[in-house]
Chains A and B, each alone.
Chain A
């Protein structure tokens, strides 16, 4: 099973700041990596698929990069609604999720 490790566990930032989240795979997943956002009490929302492609309706401030085993999600300027938990997911071999990174207001 491919294990995804996200860091940091919690990111404390202020609105307007840049957020960079990391996801590392235990073996190569090529570019088969996605990012989701989950706000409290809501279902997850797909942000990024295939490492760097924004899903429909996702603002341009969200961007993804990486391939192989190291990936990142960048939010260029945090909006109030961006404070949430973010998960990465791989689909190279079965499906697995990372444990999540919480982006909280500093």
Chain B
């Protein structure tokens, strides 16, 4: 059974940093691209970042480019996103998601970890 478990969310001040993790199980982690998708309270879904199975290819939404860095450790079956210079509009529930196949839609999602940026 595929499982994705996010962690690392919390309250952070504007300008601060946070690293989210997503522990994956139930599939061959290194064979699949992964992504982060966020949802601000009461709002829709926003794709944030994606990474290929090897970790070489990375992609970012314009809203986070230069501030967020996605990475993965295939030996630990874990996906990360380092978030720097956080802003109030980064406040959201952050989901980890598995691609169905390379650059395909996301067929499995975690339950999310909440990031709140506030002073």
Contacts and interface: CB of A to CB of B under 8 A. Distances in A.
A is bound by B: yes
A65 B46 CA distance: 23
Interface in A1-47: 1, 34, 36, 38, 43-46
Given A1-B62, A44-B109, A49 B44 contact: no
B27 interface: no
A43 B39 CA distance: 10
Interface residues of A, number: 22
Interface of B: 35, 37, 44-47, 50, 59, 61-62, 95, 100, 103-107, 109-112
B44 A46 contact: no
A38 B43 CA distance: 12
Given A49-B100, A95-B50, A55 B107 contact: yes
Interface of A: 1, 34, 36, 38, 43-46, 49, 55-56, 85, 87, 89, 91, 94-100
B111 A87 contact: no
